[in-house]
Amino acid sequence: MRLSQLVEKLGGELRGSDAEVSRVAPLETATSDALAFLANVRFKALLSESSAGALLLKSQDAEGVTTPVIVTDNPYLYYARAAALLHPAPAVRAGIHPAASVDGTAVIDASAEVGAGAVVGAGAVVGADAVIMAQAFVGDRAQVGAGSRIFPQACLMADCVIGERVILHPGAIVGGDGFGNAWAGDHWEKIPQLGRAIIGDDVEIGSNTTVDRGALEDTVIAGGARIDNLIQIAHNCHVGEHTAIAACVGIAGSTHIGARCQIGGAAMISGHLDICDGVTILGGTLVAKTIRQAGVYAGSYPMQTHEQWLKNAAHLRHLDALSDKVKQLEKQVAALKAAGSQEE
């Protein structure tokens, strides 16, 4: 694709020759057929060393650059959109593979693809241009929205729903039973999990992530959310629109997370909490109480605002020195008291 074609589709200002590119690549490894980008000024020195055929840059970074450039206010976002154009997803191959197992009562749109070894249960509905890849599972009465893709070994359990353009990566499980058990005095008794898991439009769920079905109410992941790999979202949780959750996060049951939140890797969130819109939780943070004010939060125990955590962490680093000073002062005070007693 020529740079002028990218500009026509995505905007921006072309400076230099109308080069042709066929892929995107990092500045360090890009060759003459690749489009590279600079999103962080710390790596500006790499511009002069890069062999990229074209660059995505902010206006202030493009001064003096001889390589063809598309100038844009947000090179990272432009890169994401250009990558989607240059590296499109494989085309849908409409039809049901002979080795698939599709119940006779399932409704499969004629434009959808069902791969070898995939299972589609009774009463399930698969929308237009959806792809159920090899060995994926769609349970009884489950619904798959138009344009969605379920990768190999991913499971959409009975009665659960995913919206349009949803991606379930390999091994993702939507609608497994939540952790519901009642203690009977000498043993646990399983509590039937009667709710569903409902996934909104344009959600992406990473490999080996689990979204439990609700116990009574539904578990809900709202539209536009991004859920990374190896995440546990327990029963009855609600994740708001466009919230992004990084790998290895655990969210206990019945917690409500607002819209446009960002949750760093390995954060742990207790159950029955409310986290308001616009909250950022840094990696490894333990959230044990409700958050009602937008902002950045960090720390293991107790959780606090990031600014408070930084101050306390700085004090903690000097704890040994402070202890030594206190001991020294105690000795001095003791010596003064002893001297005063002798004078009396």
Per-residue pLDDT of the chain (344 residues), as tens digits, is 999 999 999 999 999 999 999 999 999 999 999 999 998 888 898 998 999 999 999 999 999 899 999 999 999 999 999 999 999 999 999 999 999 999 999 999 999 999 999 999 999 999 999 999 999 999 999 999 999 999 999 999 999 999 999 999 999 999 999 999 999 999 999 999 999 999 999 999 999 999 999 999 999 999 999 999 999 999 999 999 999 999 999 999 999 999 999 999 999 999 999 999 999 999 999 999 999 999 999 987 667 788 888 888 888 888 888 889 999 999 999 888 887 776 66
Name 343's Cβ contacts closer than 8 Å, sequence gap at least 6.
none
Q: Report yes or no on 124 lying in a domain.
A: no
Written as six digits, the tokens of 205 are: 């769920």
Domain boundary pick from 302, 317, 336: 302
Cross-strand pairs, 287: 269
Pick the catalytic residue from 169, 235, 256, 306: 235
Please identify, among 41, 59, 86, the residue that sits at the C-terminal boundary of a domain.
86
The span from the CA of 25 to the CA of 56, in Å, is: 11
108 occurs within a structural domain: no
Number of residues that this document lists for the chain: 344
Provide the 3-class DSSP secondary structure of residue 46: helix
Q: In this structure, is residue 34 part of a structural domain?
A: yes
**Cβ atoms of 211 and 225 closer than 8 Å:** no
Instruction: Based on the residue annotation, tell me whether 318 is a catalytic residue of this protein.
Output: no
Contact 209, 230 (CB under 8 A): yes
Which pLDDT belongs to residue 41? 85
C-alpha torsion sign, points 339, 340, 343, 344: negative
**Is 113 inside any structural domain?**
no
- CB-based contacts of 26: which residues, under 8 Å, 6+ apart? 36
Other C-beta atoms closer than 10 Å to the C-beta of 222 total 20
- Which structure tokens are listed for 134? 């090899």
| CB-based contacts of 344, cutoff 8 Å, min separation 6 | none
Whichever domain contains 214, its CATH number is 2.160.10.10
Q: Which domain covers residue 78, as residue numbers?
A: 3-86
Task: Note whether residue 141 is domain-resident.
Answer: no
C-beta separation of 216 from 234 below 8 A: no
Q: Do 66 and 184 fall within a single domain?
A: no
290 part of a folded domain? yes
Q: Which residues contact 82 (CB under 8 A, 6 or more apart)?
A: 6, 10, 24, 35, 56
Asked whether residue 122 is assigned to any structural domain, the reply reads: no
If one counts every other C-beta atom within 10 angstroms of the C-beta of residue 201, the result is 17
> How many structural domains are present in the chain?
2
User: 116 lies in a domain?
Assistant: no
Domain boundary pick from 62, 86, 110: 86
